[in-house]
Structure 1
Amino acid sequence: MYKSFFLWIFLLVFTGIKAQELNCSVTVNADQISVSNNQVFKTLENSITELINQTKWTKIDFEEHERVKCAFTILLTEQTGTNSYKGTVQVQASRPVFNSVYYSPIINHQDNSFTFRYTEFQPLNFNVNVYESNLISVISYYSYLILGIYADTFSNLGGEAYLKTALSIANQAQQSGSIGWDNKINSVTRFTLIDQLLTQSNESFRKIYYSYHFESLDTFERNQKTAVKKLIADVILLKEIYDDNPNNILIRMMMDAKADEIVNVFRKNRGVDVAPLVSVLKKIAPNNSKKWKQIYSN
């Protein structure tokens, strides 16, 4: 009954009538670039904010308070030519946890291959059927990636349509020759990330991600002990995916978003045996070994 009720709440989220889907904070940091007109970067920041928050990405309307919280942090490291720039973009998003004030991070991804051209006051308009520019393609790609992952956390494989749109954007952008869209095995490019999310062999990952959020985190306030045990089971299932492919980029993506959350959850719930969990975490995400040690701390 609980599951049906919360699924109904999710459907309400996706059938509101007042606002666009994303509520995004955008920051453009150009401190490493020396130019005569710094105002262009503030204009760029405002233009990207408008593109994300005012574009209708889907056919579904959200209530204002239901919009997906996200952030784009753009760090410009080089001016490569007239109106041409190079840098990084970090994309973050979160989703509410049922019956709490907590927002769970669902993506925390840094893209180090961000290049684009921008002339101050040029319009940034998205057309799903047309490649306009690398700047618009990168921003729209990540907007759909956020929507797809967000929907996946509420409904099993529920973000399929949004992820496929992100793949379509990636396929179009590949023709531009801009970096970051290429298909490199075992490398995290925009194409490989969305390709891996949609490949059938990784459906088990997306199902685990759904279970982690909807069947575990969202039941936390109702039955904490059961939810914690379910979270452990969900994370341990990742070992099978890792054993099949130790370079699975989706596990890395999940750990980038979830490492701190996992530590905070299990450090405060010592009534369960965390040894099997920590053993798996050390294997699938050794880069976070210092964090996993905190699970045993007081």
Structure 2
Amino acid sequence: MKKIISLFFLFFIYTQSFSQELLATVQVNSQQVGGSNQQAFKALEKSLRDFINNTSWTGKKLQNFEKIKCGFSVVIGERDGNRFKGSIVVQAMRPVYNTTYDSPLINLQDQRFGFEYIENESLIFNERQFSGKNLTDVVSFYIYLILGLDADSFQSMGGSQWYAKAQQIAQNSQNRNYEGWNTINEPRSRSILINEVMNPNWNQLRSTIYTYHRAGMDNLFNQDQTAGKKVIFDALMQLKMYENTFQQAFFFNLFMDTKSDEIFNIFNSGNNGGLILNDLKQTMIILSPKNIDNKWNKWKV
């Protein structure tokens, strides 16, 4: 009997240790409402950290080195009892093969983050219906977006099933009296973002995400970087097809905002294997004009 109990205990430990998919850091900043009960914010931080890291989001069993590194930073701007308003910054990274370098997948600030939270309450998420409090809905939406982006970076169009879950959350959250979900009069809303991700018009961007990372970044740190750089160069040049449509596209601009530093650094070494860097420079000037002076014009072409 003791042996059976021991075996069950070991099985439980094993499944618990390998059932989560994220290694998330969580920070809650409450300085703007400093007069409030700070213990509630510490409890919120712990509740979110446990919710994100201890939930099995995909049903896959992963070891720590396979988990996605990500971060959620919440800034509380207003508090009225158990109702809070503020912003949330979402970041995630992808490891690059055979290196210690992590490539950014998403770096997004959502300024319309309102929710209800009671100190020490259990955070429960049901993907089939809106929670009523918006906290787990927003966080879960971004988790599935991260899972989708990560999967897209390892397999062409590999993130579709996780994007579909994020889209379902967005649909459940429509017209629930919380900002950030509407497709009308709310530019850069969560619903607009996921609808663009799922729109076939942006399949080339998703394809670029895969090629850029899997055939480009994962081969960039070989002794000869020429092949990896050429793949990244060609993948980015494919985005020129969006030069007349990208201006109002949340998904496209999120990609450029997240990757612009990395793209600049990759081709700033001066050793670009004969690539015509001026072609990429002109494309980046079109697709990411806000970085003309601080990045693209600094390339030596």
- Aligned partners of 1:134, 1:242: CA distance in 2, in Å? 36
1:46-125 to 2 correspondence within 5 Å?
Answer: 46-79=46-79, 81-125=80-124
User: One-letter code of the match for 1:130?
Assistant: Q
Deviation at 1:250, TM superposition (A): 1.9
164-173 vs 274-283, greater mean Cα deviation: 274-283
SS at match of 1:98: coil
- 1:238–1:251 contact (8 Å) kept in structure 2: no
Q: Secondary structure at the match of 1:110?
A: strand
- Contact conserved, 1:236 with 1:280, CA < 8 A, in 2? yes
Matched, 1:285 2:285: no
- Counterpart Cα distance in 2 of 1:209 and 1:148: 11
Whether the 8 Å CA contact 2:28–2:42 is kept in 1: the answer is: yes
Deviation at 1:294, TM superposition (A): 3.2
Residue range with higher mean Cα deviation, 174-183 or 48-57: 174-183
> How far apart are the structure 1 equivalents of 2:297 and 2:19?
43
Deviations 1:222-252 (A, max 9, x none): 4411111221111121111232443222221
Larger radius of gyration between Structure 1 and Structure 2: 2
Alignment CA distance shift 1:245-1:294 (3 Å): closer
Match of 1:199?
199
SS at match of 2:295: helix
Which blocks of at least 5 consecutive residues in structure 1 are unaligned? 1-16
Give 1:282 shift: 1.1
Rounded to whole Å, the distance in 2 between the matches of 1:110 and 1:36 is 24
Q: Normalised by the size of structure 1, how large is the TM-score? A: 0.90
Report 1:254-273 matches (<5 A): 254-271=255-272, 272-273=275-276
Q: Aligned pair in 2 of structure 1 residues 185, 119: CA closer, same or farther (>3 Å)?
A: closer
TM-score normalised per structure 2: 0.89
Contact 2:70 2:90 in 1 (8 A): yes
Superposed displacement of residue 144, structure 1: 0.5
Q: For each residue in 1:37-75, what CA deviation from the matched residue of structure 2 results, as whole angstroms up to 9, or x when unmatched?
A: 111111101100011000111121111221100000111
Contact 1:242–1:248 (8 Å) recurs in 2: no
Structure 1 partner of 2:298: 294
- 1:256 Cα deviation (Å)? 1.5
Distance in 2 separating the partners of 1:244 and 1:288: 18
Q: Show CA shifts across 1:90-143 (max 9, x none).
A: 100011111111110010011111111111111101122232120010000001
Distance in 2 (CA, whole Å) between partners of 1:164 and 1:126 is: 16
Partner letter of residue 199 of structure 1? N
Corresponding residue for residue 233 of structure 2 = 232
In the aligned structure 1, how far is the partner of 2:204 from the partner of 2:232? 15
Instruction: Judge which range, 258-267 or 184-193, deviates more.
Output: 184-193
Aligned amino acid, residue 217 of structure 1: M
1:44 match: 44
Amino acid at match of 1:224: Q
Q: 2:166 touches 2:194 (CA, 8 Å); kept in 1?
A: yes
Alpha carbons 1:19, 1:64 under 8 Å: kept: no
Please say if residues 19 and 60 of structure 2, whose CA atoms lie closer than 8 Å, have aligned partners that are also in contact.
Answer: no
- Separation (CA, whole Å) in 1 of partners of 2:161 and 2:101: 27
Task: Flag structure 2 segments of 5+ consecutive residues without an equivalent.
Answer: 1-16
Q: How high is the sequence identity, in percent, across the aligned residues?
A: 34
Q: Distance in 2 between matches of 1:152 and 1:185?
A: 30
Residues in 2 aligned to 1:43 and 1:244: alpha-carbon distance in whole angstroms:
44
Paired with 1:213 and 1:134, the residues of 2 have a C-alpha distance of 33
Corresponding residue number in structure 1 for 2:247 = 246
Cα deviation for residue 85 of structure 1 reads 1.3
Counterparts of 1:85-234 in structure 2 under 5 Å? 85-132=84-131, 133-184=133-184, 187-222=187-222, 223-234=224-235
Q: 137-146 or 175-184: which moved more?
A: 175-184
- Cα distance in 2 for partners of 1:93, 1:114 equals 19
Classify the secondary structure of the residue corresponding to 2:154. Answer: coil
Over the residues paired in the alignment, what is the CA RMSD in angstroms? 1.8
Read off the aligned partner of 1:19 and give its amino acid letter: S
